Amino acid sequence: MFAVTIEQNSNVYTKQPYYLIEVEQRNYERDEEGNLIKNKIPYVLEPCTTEHWEKIYNTETNDKLFGLEIESFLCPPLDFKPLSLQGVYQSDFFDFIKFNIVDCEEPEQKTEYFQNWDYTCLSDTEIAEYIEKDE
């Protein structure tokens, strides 16, 4: 299990994200002629809950995680397929995880990746004001 977020001063990430986090499993395979075959599998993310962690950690650890506001982080779904890591770029088999940070799009407009949570994007003006204020 893992958790990701983007730190935001004034808004909880899982409610009003400035940007979206996309996670992809990438599998690269070289055939006998040296050609690189690339496969990418998008991973669905959802807000973290205690259920995401209770099989891994004890109750006391769960309480500590939620003291860190883990509910403002995104996790893979409870039934997610384990991610694969192996090799290096020059290997015959190279599996890695790619994290993309992309502009926020409302859930109904997001077609390439599926975000499994309800959120509202901030306007471009609100994001620009935040960035200017934080510089």
For 57-87, write each residue's pLDDT tens digit.
Answer: 666 666 676 677 788 899 999 888 889 999 9
Contacts of 13 (CB under 8 A, 6+ apart): 5, 6, 7, 72, 73, 74
Highest mean pLDDT among 16-25, 70-79, 91-100: 91-100
Give the global pTM: 0.82
Predicted confidence at residue 95, as pLDDT, reads: 98
Predicted confidence at residue 41, as pLDDT, reads: 92
The whole-number average pLDDT for the span 7-18 is 85
Say which residue the tokens 């209770």 belong to. Answer: 54
Kindly state the percentage of the chain with pLDDT values over 90.
41
Is-contact 21 101, C-beta < 8 A? yes
- Going from N- to C-terminal start, the domains of the chain cover 19-134
Q: How far apart are CA 43 and CA 53, in angstroms?
A: 18
Q: What is the mean pLDDT of the chain?
A: 86
Predicted confidence at residue 80, as pLDDT, reads: 87
Predicted confidence at residue 112, as pLDDT, reads: 64
**What one-character DSSP code corresponds to residue 86?**
B
